[in-house]
Amino acid sequence: MILCQVFPTSLKGATLTWYRGLPHQSIDSFDTLVECFNSQYATSQLHCLTSTAKASLHQVDDEPLRKFIDKFGQIAVQIRNLNPEVVLHSMLLVLRPGKFIDSLCKKPPNGMDEL
């Protein structure tokens, strides 16, 4: 129950107003408090991306390779349990034709770090 007493000290603004508006004695445990909080703020949580998120990525004609790889990497790290082989294969499919993709086809990297 001490967690329930300490919790409000970390709140401010609208969240503190929400907490103060909870019905008296409606929280009987910290688990109940967590449940209420998550229910109230579920839409504020970060959502993990799926592997389909990278399907819409393509390197545009005038986009520098470094910029595209950074963008691709930012999306890839947000996808849970993404197989490195799938990442590399996806990269090969969405890059513009050129020397870089030719070198990847000849000698594929062993992982994203090597890429």
Q: In this predicted structure, what is the pLDDT of residue 54?
A: 66
Residue from 3, 29, 2, 4 nearest 19 by CA: 4
| Tens digits of residue pLDDT in 65-108 | 889 888 887 777 777 677 777 777 777 788 888 888 888 788 87
Q: In this predicted structure, what is the pLDDT of residue 51?
A: 63
Output the DSSP codes for 8-61: GGG--HHHHHHHHTSPTT---SHHHHHHHHHHHTGGGS---B-GGGGGG----T
Please give the average per-residue pLDDT across 36-50, as a whole number.
67
Higher-pLDDT residue of 110 and 96 is 96
pTM of the predicted model, to two decimals?
A: 0.49
Residues 40 and 14: beta-carbon distance below 8 Å: no
Residues 78 and 49: beta-carbon distance below 8 Å: yes
Through-space distance between the first and last CA atoms of the chain, rounded to whole angstroms: 50
Higher-pLDDT residue of 24 and 45 is 24
